[in-house]
Amino acid sequence: MSDIIQLLPDSVANQIAAGEVVQRPASAVKELLENAIDAGATDLCLIIKNAGKTLIQVIDNGKGMSPTDARMAFERHATSKIKSASDLFALRTMGFRGEALASIAAISQVELKTKQADQDLGTCIVIEGSVVDSQEACSTQSGTNLSVKNLFFNVPARRNFLKSNPVETKHIIEEFYRVAMVHPEISFQFHSEGNELFNLPKGSFRQRIVSIFGDKYNQRLVPVEEETDIVSISGFVGKPEYAKKTRGEQYFFVNERFIKSPYLNHAIQIAFDELITKDQHPSYFLKLEIDPARIDINIHPTKTEIKFEDERSIYAIIRTSVKQALGKYNIAPSLDFEQESSFNASLRAPDQIKVPTIEVNPNFNPFETTSKPPRPSTGSDSFSAQRQRIDTNWQQLYSQEDFEKDSPTHTTIEPEENTTILAKWDETPVQHNHKMVQLHQRYIITQIKSGAVIIDQQRAHERILYERFIKALNEKKHASQRLLFPETIEFSPDDYAMMVGLVDEINQLGFEINEFGKNTFVVNAVPVELTENNLKGLLEKLLDQFKLNSDDLRLDKRESLARSLAHNTAIKRGKLLHEDEMQNLIDELFSCEMPNNLPNGKPIVITYSIDELDKRFQRT
């Protein structure tokens, strides 16, 4: 029998390695940016075209490579960062496997231009599918200019599995965040399709976060600092009121390398306990410095997962430091003996309060044709008596004893009346036979033949809107109302990329949204059901809910979008409804195909029969 085991050719082996290292264009972007940082670059420029499928170009001003090093960089397991196996446990660099460039060159067309600062000429290498087409001297700037063209050109099956351009661009932006955020000492530029998405100057860690996510984040950040023998922690967490339903801005960096750790994420979630609801996720940007000998970062091909030697201790330190930071900045209740005296101002005593005065002319007559000088008031005038009663009332109001005696145990505040809930609802009252009651401005209770029915008003409206939006997506049209003044909305680059991929479907739901320059859309019309005045907030919530539905529930684009918009435009609990509005809500609900449940299975209607109620009142 002949031998059947044989060595694979280098080209095949490189393509197999590429399957681990380069899963999509964002993977190549990550490797190229990390290599540029390891080369000592202080200025970096990333250029992509066609979401990285056509071109990924990284230009840096690092130390460059010699002609021999430039050629060796594309060999498997070639690296300048480790010499022996012991070096694996003392790594301080970004990349070290020596497979990235070899894997990228196996599935693309690569052009590398590089020059060292003390050399007059540089080196230009052109590689296609692991085959070196040319290597020659060239004139270029100091540093490295590496272009990756036509990614997966020789692996069409892999290229067919790539997502749409907006989705792939979003992944590239996320990888750019992870690298640029933790290196504020380096300036970054990012160009996509000829447009500048980012221009990040050098600065502090806080300035870099604000430059990436926008000026509004400057007021949302709470500093975290902790020094221990095990780990040093620095960075920021977001204030509880800005927590989101999706795991958005959550970044752990260990020795300046981005990692994912559900275990450490749980430590922060526990630190925010009782400050946010269970379905909310806080933002955090935390850098951990730890002895490389205490961690193992070579357990995952992309090095986003690592092992800690003492994970329990690090968990406890993170939880305590975050909780302490929230308490120190008066976000969580805590005892702080170094609190500023300005926060301890007590209420003024009643005798320090100035009684308001009222200047009124009691002799004023609006029907007189000629004006007369006001008659001076005397103590016997009725106005003087009224003034005296006012003074007495104010003194009683600020009497501590009377205040404590007369103050109620609780106060019920009625929510503000909003505008019309459903634009299509009839304005004329609907005739019906049974009285309806709104319970705590959350539920509608009405009588039916067999007993009583309780309806969740928010879920009922959400179900109505969901079926309406699904129908609009199927028919590709929906009623809309034009805005008197079009509104311009600027998004973050990753949200902008997502909006580009969703704008056609969103417009089918009744919006009229068009691109309007850098990261900006202009809104000309909205669905007729919409009563939300804050369009930017609504669209941001829509995108957050869309991410949640797409990631956690794995819904398709149309289903996720319909659910998201219905959830964010439905009337909320606490909204006072008139009887005709309740009747119309019930009528529209029971005209739906599935009125009893939301698309996620949550109940809308609960029925109690007379028999059930009778059993409750029966004596045992």
pLDDT: is 90 or 298 the higher one?
A: 298
pLDDT value at residue 269: 93
pLDDT value at residue 548: 77
DSSP per-residue letters across 553-579: S---HHHHHHHHHHHHHSPPTT----H
Structure-derived torsion over alpha carbons of residues 437, 439, 441, 443, reported in degrees to the nearest 10? -90
Q: Name 167's bridge partners.
A: none
Check pLDDT > 90 for residue 172: yes
What is the residue whose two structure tokens read 């922060």? 268
Across the range 382-395, mean pLDDT stands at: 51
Across the range 519-535, mean pLDDT stands at: 85
546 within 8 A of 558, measured Cβ to Cβ: no
H/E element, 316 = helix 311-328
At 380, the pLDDT band (50, 70, 90 cuts) reads: very low
pLDDT value at residue 17: 61
Task: Give the tens place of pLDDT for each residue, 213-252.
Answer: 988 899 999 999 999 999 999 999 999 988 888 887 899 9
pLDDT: is 574 or 58 the higher one?
A: 58
pLDDT value at residue 308: 87
pLDDT value at residue 600: 87
Task: Give the tens place of pLDDT for each residue, 423-462.
Answer: 333 333 334 456 789 999 899 998 888 888 999 999 999 9
Kindly report, as residue ranges, where domains of CATH 3.30.565.10 are found in the chain: 10-203
Superfamily of domain 436-605 in the CATH hierarchy: MutL, C-terminal domain, regulatory subdomain (3.30.1370.100)
500 within 8 A of 516, measured Cβ to Cβ: no
Across the range 577-582, mean pLDDT stands at: 90
Residue 323 tokens read as: 């909780």
DSSP helix/strand/coil, 276: strand
Task: Give the tens place of pLDDT for each residue, 143-160.
Answer: 999 999 999 998 888 888
pLDDT value at residue 448: 82
Kindly report, as residue ranges, where domains of CATH 3.30.1370.100 are found in the chain: 436-605
Rounded (5°) CA angle 12-15-18? 155
Q: What single-letter amino acid sits at 527?
A: P
Across the range 6-35, mean pLDDT stands at: 78
Percent of the chain topping pLDDT 70: 75
The architecture CATH gives domain 10-203:
2-Layer Sandwich (3.30)
pLDDT value at residue 414: 43
Q: What does pLDDT average to over the chain?
A: 80
Instruction: Determine how β-strand 195-200 pairs with β-strand 55-60.
Output: unpaired
Across the range 14-35, mean pLDDT stands at: 81
pLDDT value at residue 97: 42
Say how far apart CA 532 and CA 537 lie, in whole Å: 9
CA distances to 65, 140, 505 from 118, rounded to whole Å, are 11, 13, 55
Say how far apart CA 431 and CA 228 lie, in whole Å: 72
Check pLDDT > 60 for residue 612: yes
Check pLDDT > 50 for residue 400: no
Show the DSSP H helices in 116-164 as ranges: 156-160
Fold held by 206-328: Ribosomal Protein S5; domain 2 (3.30.230)
Kindly report, as residue ranges, where domains of CATH 3.30.230.10 are found in the chain: 206-328
At 513, the pLDDT band (50, 70, 90 cuts) reads: very high
